[in-house]
Amino acid sequence: MDENVIDSKVVNAFVEDADVEPSGLDGLVGSSGAADRAEAYRKKHGGLWVGGRATLTPTTLAFVPNGANRAVHRGADDVEVPLSAVTSVEVEGGFGTKVVAVRSPQRTLRLRCWGARSFATEIDDARRAHG
């Protein structure tokens, strides 16, 4: 792990701008109807969960979608939140795993992951140390 990395976790990030790229599903096993189901979910919930990796450094929290999710989602871009802009870090309920909600004036970055409580504490500690 890079010496500047505090923690790095496999996560799903809720992305409001994400949309399904039907051509990215071509040939995938079980993809029949997947685009329709994802579109229905996006309309109901206002976005999609996108798999990738969250990386916390002393100054930023970044989310980078994995290759598979880049292939099947439009709008699933890298996100970087400066810790100096973070106003709060909260843990929200979830099904199976909890969600870390990182709020700033520009956005709320929601990350679903195992160990959400400890990851939220690390993010908040880094934010306070940076502030």
Question: How would you write the pLDDT of the chain (131 residues) with one tens digit per residue?
Answer: 456 999 999 999 988 766 666 555 455 544 456 666 666 756 676 677 889 999 999 999 999 999 887 777 677 789 999 999 999 999 998 778 999 999 999 899 999 999 999 999 999 999 999 76
Check residue 10 and give its pLDDT: 97
Amino acid 34: pLDDT: 62
Q: What is the pLDDT of residue 35?
A: 63
Burial label, 84 (beta-carbon count in 10 A; 0-12, 13-18, 19+): exposed
Q: How far is CA 128 from CA 59, 80, 81, 101, 113, in A?
A: 10, 18, 14, 16, 22
Which CATH architecture does the domain made up of 7-130 adopt? Roll (2.30)
CA distance 35 to 92: 27
